[in-house]
Amino acid sequence: MKLLQEAIEKRGIILNDNILKVDSFMNHQIDPQLMFEIGKEFADHYRNQEITKIVTIESSGIAPAVFTGLAMNLPVVFLKKSEPSTMIDPVYVESFSFTKNRKYTLCMESSMLEQGDKILFIDDFLANGQAFESFESLMGKCGATIAGIGIVIEKSFQKGRKTIEDKGYDIYSLARIQSMENGKINWID
């Protein structure tokens, strides 16, 4: 997605060969017009997959997910990283954040999904695929089917992409980074 690649090149910060910060338009400050276009792009790709619900993970997944939900006229569920006191009958899995270097519990109220739901997973980044695997495990507990995976920025040099492809899922990443060596991004088109 050209518009997104331009935003990353212009407004992203490459901290080192592995870490890209996009706090200026997605992960801390959000550019709603760009997110609106991102939502339309995911919707175009997944329009004929009979998706019944979109699922993402708080907090940075919410913006791309809600604009996808707007474009597809579908509800969006965000998984929580801690269990609020008002949650009834939660389902949860343990996960690990490489960015924050700590374990966390990924959690959802069981009534949010039904047997037979066909889920489109939307997330801001794909790197090691740890968040995806936790999501996948949670969906398994609910009897929901994963119909697609929409990623805003994929670090293709880390193992997440391959893990997901090997499992046969339909994955669609809007910007695929081959490498970020010497402060320059090489794209996979």
The set of residues, in sequence order, having a beta carbon less than 8 Å from that of 70 and lying 6+ positions away, is 36, 39
Scanning 2-10, 30-38, 123-131, 151-159 for contacts with its own copies by CB under 8 A, the matching segment is: 30-38
> Is 155 near its own copies (CB under 8 A)?
no
The answer to whether residue 186 forms part of the interface with its own copies (CB under 8 A) is: no
State which of positions 58-97 bind its own copies (CB under 8 A). Answer: 58-59, 62-63, 65-67, 69-70, 73-78, 80, 82, 84-86
| Residue 110 interacting with its own copies (CB under 8 A) | no
**What does the block give as tokens for 33?**
């017009």
Residue with Cβ nearer its own copies (6 or 165): 6
Residues in the interface with its own copies (CB under 8 A) total 39
The single residue among 6, 17, 18, 21 that binds its own copies, judged by CB under 8 A, is: 21
Q: Which long-range contacts (CB under 8 A, 24 or more apart) does 72-79 make?
A: 72/42, 72/43, 72/46, 72/47, 72/120, 74/120, 77/53, 77/108, 77/112, 77/113, 79/55, 79/106, 79/107, 79/108, 79/135, 79/138
Binder among 6, 9, 17, 32 for its own copies (CB under 8 A):
32
